Structures are given as structure tokens and as C-alpha cells.
Chains A and B, each alone.
Chain A
């Protein structure tokens, strides 16, 4: 502790340079947190996927439908516990920028297939009785200020034309922080009434729950075998694989983010390392005096490392604090264009560890230089 005043005095010697270096750290750490959150958002589907859920889509593409009649056939396959079906509605509420995902659901099994998405019994029962009813994720409800009983018009862009009217009957929320609370669900029967005749009896995809996750591969193969050589062949995969392949459509997000992150931190390492090197070079004579009056080589190294660690600690903390404050605002501003952005404590911890590692690395070379400084030579340079 008795050396802390010395370390802080040296740290604040060049205030503008200190502020710029800490600022570089803060920006880099903010970017780190943001990139990590975006990566998590894209991979969350796979991460939180249930091991006993299978997705059944048309083998050609998810935009090609599958007959409703497949449901009963699937339920007869050994290992299939239950099945529900969904369609993508893709409507517009007031303006295209108000995007949120809307799904046609089969009310019969929705809650059993997605037990992690909670709706109260009373609201669910009201929904079942209301053909135009809708259940909305709490995030979307808060975003638009919807209350139970509100009437919401959504303009279809795929299924014919004009506005479809819905009554808000209830809200769902996720059991976990990562669960998607932006969806809008409405009833299959209402959908069937309004779509053109050519599109009736066709679902977007099935979600199947199996008796045991260990059986998932066999059941997947059985489902696809059941519909092989039919006009609507299927492709069945686990929810995790389905989510992962969905993300792949956007490109290799993980590689992209890793590349950007690596470049950012390498640049930060150079910037901070250069700052520390200049700082040490400016103080050559002072460091020599420290050694002359009895400070050990190791003490001099520790002084330099302490300074670089303090810079990284302050900059890292500021960047991560900025992320804590800004990411919820950015998530709201994105209006559901990206999966929900959640800043996990593990990201903050990893960010801090990374910042300290960069601080340590950037101080190490100048510190070793200071440690090896020959007093006589250094004093001669004055």
C-alpha cells in the first residue's frame, strides 16, 4: 500500500495520454462486449435448444410447406411424444420498422412443446376461446405498450392482402433470461379461415417432442423415411442443429466476430504497449535513481506492470460499464432485427480477464526493459 501513491503519481503524470489510453481500452472492451453479445444472440438458439425437440421442415426449403396431414402420421412413429406445427406469418404492424416475429400456432400442444415459455392458465383459456386471440411475448408487449383486450391490426405480406385483426388475450415470458420474449402467437383456425384456398392445410414446420433425447437421431430418420419419395419430403433435425443451420445462412458469424475481436485486441496491445514503452523511456533516469537508492529490479518491473494493469483495469471497467448501460438501449433500438441481446455476467468476467491480460502483456516488455536497465548507463543519458 505504501507504494500505491508512487504508482498513482506516475500513472497520472501525463493526463491526456492516460485518458486516451484508457479511452482506447474502454472502446475496445465495449466492442468486445457488444461482439460477444451479438455472437451469443446468434448462437443462443442452439445453446438453449431443448434436446428432446425436433424440427421437421420441407426437404427443399423451410419456405416450402408440409401438409397438415403429416401430423397424425408422425404421432404414430415410435418415440414421438407429441407434435405441434407453426407457420411464419411475416406481417407488418403499422410500419415495417416495427418488426417482430409472428407465428401461427397449434394451440393444442404449443405449451407442452415449449414448456419454458410461460402463459398463465387464465390467459391461455381466454386465448383458446377467442378465435382472433393472440399471445404476445412480454418484450414485444412492453415495446408497443399493449394491454390485455387491445385490438391489434397486422397487415399480411405473404398470405393474401389487407389487415388481420387480433385481440391481445395474454402474454408469455421465458423461464430463462435468454428465452425469446418477442414472439406473437395466434391461432391456426383463424389462419386457415383467411388464407387462400390453395394454401389451406399446409404448415410451415412441425416441432416434435420425443420420449427421450437419446432417441432423437433414430426418430429423425424414421420421420424422414416415413415421407421419403412423397411430394413433400421432410428434413428432420434437432432443434439445436436447426438453429445452427439457421444462423449459418447469415454467414460465419462466429469467425467474423472472432476476427474483428482479434484485430481489435491486437491493435489495443500495440497501442498500450507503445504508450508504456514511451512512458518508461521518458523515465529512464528516474528509474535509474530508484535502483540507485535501493529499489530492486523486481520492484521496478512491478511498478511498470502495476501501471499497465491499472490502465487496463480502469479502461476495461469503463468499457464494460458502458456496455452494461448501452446494450439494452441498443437492443431496444434494433427492434427485434437481431435476436435478443443479453449481456451475460460471463461476458463481463471474460472481458475483464482479457483486459488484464492485455494490460499485463503490454507492460511486460517495457517492464523487463526497465528491470534490466543499467543504472550507470541510464544516469549518463540525463
Chain B
């Protein structure tokens, strides 16, 4: 269950309270997020929509520990991340967050296998264990036969699949997807969304996604609209094929 009124139970996986983010530009302050509350449970699939500059990506960056809020708190699985030191936050990201970016951001000089293996290099897994994990992740995204391909040898959709495999390989607490289909054609976008849905439905992953595309947003359990830094609108959304509806 996703809530934005700050009234959820203490069991929420992600709990955001009174989140403000202000930037200083040209001598003035820009309030990107203002007093935002949010509760997300395990296995929720949330889409954030809104116009450019509404604070979608800023919210995602804050939730992923890539940026720090001006005020407010973010608690993930009991860990309050807003007051963690830079070093602790880095370790926390490695353990809890899987990132999927619009431009895939694969390392071009590494093969699909090596790209997916990157997060595991930070763990104590043996080489054999790392191989098993990487193979599993690549099979999940349907690229078991493309392990030794470099990004330039893959299509855009396949590159994004590799990026998703990299995001899930270390079994993070939740995935943050920033416009995961923004650079793809419709067919590839549908395939990527089907994959993300499967991660939620079959593997119980929690996914928070930013998108401009209403078609893509409709695939999520819940769509939240951000405007001028405030969650101003909420509406029902339906997960395609999931058969269930979640109401905010």
C-alpha cells in the first residue's frame, strides 16, 4: 500500500516524512520538494509522473541516497539514511538500492557479464559465486546468451535489460528506475516494462519509477503525480495483467 499523507503504519519499507529539497540558484532559492510524505510497502510498484522540473528525479535521487534533503527524513527498512555519513551511505546504496537509468549507463569496455558483475565486486562472494549470480540475473532478463557481448553489440532494449540485471544482481531492497524506457521505441519499452512487472510480481521486488509516459505509468500499481515539488494529485492505476488494483 502506498500512502502520501504520512499516516501509514510503521511497517512501511520506505517511509518519507516532511521531505524538503531546496537549491540555491542565482541568489534565490528553488523549492524542488516541499514537505513530502510517502510510504511504500514491500513489493509495491510506484510510478512518479509530472512535468519537467517537478522534482521527480530529485525525489528518486534522495530515495537512492545520491543526494541529501534540505529537511525531512527517509527511512528504508528501518535505516534512516538522511543522517548517514557519505561512507555509510555508499555502503548502504550497495546493499539496498538497484539503479536503472534512462541512458542505461553501461560501461562500454566491459561485456554484459562484466557489467552485471560490477556490484558483486563489492561483496565477499567468490569468483564462482559471482558467476552464478550474474548468470542468474542475465537469465532473468533473458540475455543468458549475450553474456560476452559488449554494449555496442546490443540493441537499446538489450542494453537496458543488462542494466536491469546489474540492478538486481546483488538482490537489493528496492529498485529505482529513472525513465527506464525514455530512450526506447514502444516495443522495446513494452518488453522492459513487462520485465519490471515480472520482477515485482514474480520476485517480489519493490520498484519506484519515474516516467513521462502515461502508458508506461499505467503498468505500475500506483501512480503519483508531482507538481512543483508537491504530491498534488493521486489517482488509481492498474497494473496491466496483474489483475489487482491499489488505491491511494
Report A's interface with B, CB cutoff 8 A: 2-3, 5-6, 9-10, 12-13, 285-286, 288-297, 375-376, 379, 382
CB distance from B79 to the nearest CB of A (A): 15
User: Judging by beta carbons under 8 Å apart, are A9 and B110 in contact?
Assistant: yes
Q: How far, in whole Å, are A3 and B95 apart by their CA atoms in the complex?
A: 19
In the assembled complex, B93 has its CB within 8 A of some CB on chain A: yes
Interface string of B91-115 (1 = CB under 8 A from A): 1011100010101010111100010
With contacts A2-B127, A6-B110, A376-B66 taken as known, whether A295 is within 8 angstroms of B105 at the C-beta atoms is no
In the assembled complex, B235 has its CB within 8 A of some CB on chain A: no
In the assembled complex, B153 has its CB within 8 A of some CB on chain A: no
CB distance from B216 to the nearest CB of A (A): 20
| 13 A-B residue pairings within 8 Å (CB atoms) | A12-B109, A286-B107, A289-B105, A292-B99, A293-B94, A293-B119, A294-B93, A294-B94, A295-B122, A375-B67, A376-B61, A379-B101, A382-B103
With contacts A3-B121, A6-B121 taken as known, whether A292 is within 8 angstroms of B66 at the C-beta atoms is yes
Interface string of B111-143 (1 = CB under 8 A from A): 000100011011000010000000000000000
In the assembled complex, B90 has its CB within 8 A of some CB on chain A: yes
Top 6 A-B residue pairs of the complex, sorted by shortest distance between their CB atoms: A294-B94, A9-B109, A289-B105, A375-B66, A13-B109, A376-B67
Q: Which residues of B contact A286 (CB under 8 A)?
A: 105, 107
Interface string of B181-208 (1 = CB under 8 A from A): 0000000000000000000000000000
CB interface residues, B 67-101, toward A, < 8 Å? 67, 86-87, 90-91, 93-95, 99, 101
User: Judging by beta carbons under 8 Å apart, are B90 and A296 in contact?
Assistant: yes
Q: How far, in whole Å, are A380 and B138 apart by their CA atoms in the complex?
A: 28
Q: How far, in whole Å, are A290 and B94 apart by their CA atoms in the complex?
A: 10
Of B90, B94, B95, B122, most A-chain CB atoms within 10 Å: B90
With contacts A294-B94, A295-B122, A297-B86 taken as known, whether A289 is within 8 angstroms of B101 at the C-beta atoms is yes
Chain A residue, CB-CB nearest to B123:
A294
Instruction: Report the count of interface residues on B (CB-CB < 8 A).
Output: 26
In the assembled complex, B180 has its CB within 8 A of some CB on chain A: no
CB distance from B112 to the nearest CB of A (A): 13
User: Judging by beta carbons under 8 Å apart, are A294 and B109 in contact?
Assistant: no
Q: A291-B90, A294-B119, A382-B103 are in contact. List 4 more A-B contacts (CB 8 A).
A: A6-B118, A292-B93, A293-B118, A293-B119
User: Judging by beta carbons under 8 Å apart, are A293 and B99 in contact?
Assistant: yes
CB distance from A217 to the nearest CB of B (A): 65
With contacts A3-B121, A9-B114 taken as known, whether A382 is within 8 angstroms of B105 at the C-beta atoms is yes
In the assembled complex, B64 has its CB within 8 A of some CB on chain A: yes
User: Judging by beta carbons under 8 Å apart, are A10 and B114 in contact?
Assistant: no
In the assembled complex, B166 has its CB within 8 A of some CB on chain A: yes
CB distance from A380 to the nearest CB of B (A): 8
Q: Which residues of B contact A12 (CB under 8 A)?
A: 109
User: Judging by beta carbons under 8 Å apart, are B122 and A294 in contact?
Assistant: yes
CB distance from A343 to the nearest CB of B (A): 37
Chain B residue, CB-CB nearest to A298:
B87
Q: Which residues of B contact A375 (CB under 8 A)?
A: 61, 66-67
User: Judging by beta carbons under 8 Å apart, are A10 and B121 in contact?
Assistant: no
CB distance from A156 to the nearest CB of B (A): 69
User: Judging by beta carbons under 8 Å apart, are B90 and A294 in contact?
Assistant: yes
Q: Which residues of B contact A10 (CB under 8 A)?
A: 109
Of B64, B67, B119, B122, most A-chain CB atoms within 10 Å: B122
Q: How far, in whole Å, are A382 and B61 apart by their CA atoms in the complex?
A: 15
CB distance from A91 to the nearest CB of B (A): 65
CB distance from A373 to the nearest CB of B (A): 12
Chain B residue, CB-CB nearest to A286:
B107
Q: Which residues of B contact A294 (CB under 8 A)?
A: 90-91, 93-95, 119, 122
User: Judging by beta carbons under 8 Å apart, are B87 and A296 in contact?
Assistant: yes
Of A6, A9, A289, most B-chain CB atoms within 10 Å: A289
Q: Which residues of B contact A379 (CB under 8 A)?
A: 66, 101, 105
Chain A residue, CB-CB nearest to B92:
A294
Chain B residue, CB-CB nearest to A292:
B99
CB distance from A303 to the nearest CB of B (A): 11
CB interface residues, B 147-166, toward A, < 8 Å? 166
Q: How far, in whole Å, are A290 and B90 apart by their CA atoms in the complex?
A: 10
Q: Which residues of B contact A296 (CB under 8 A)?
A: 87, 90
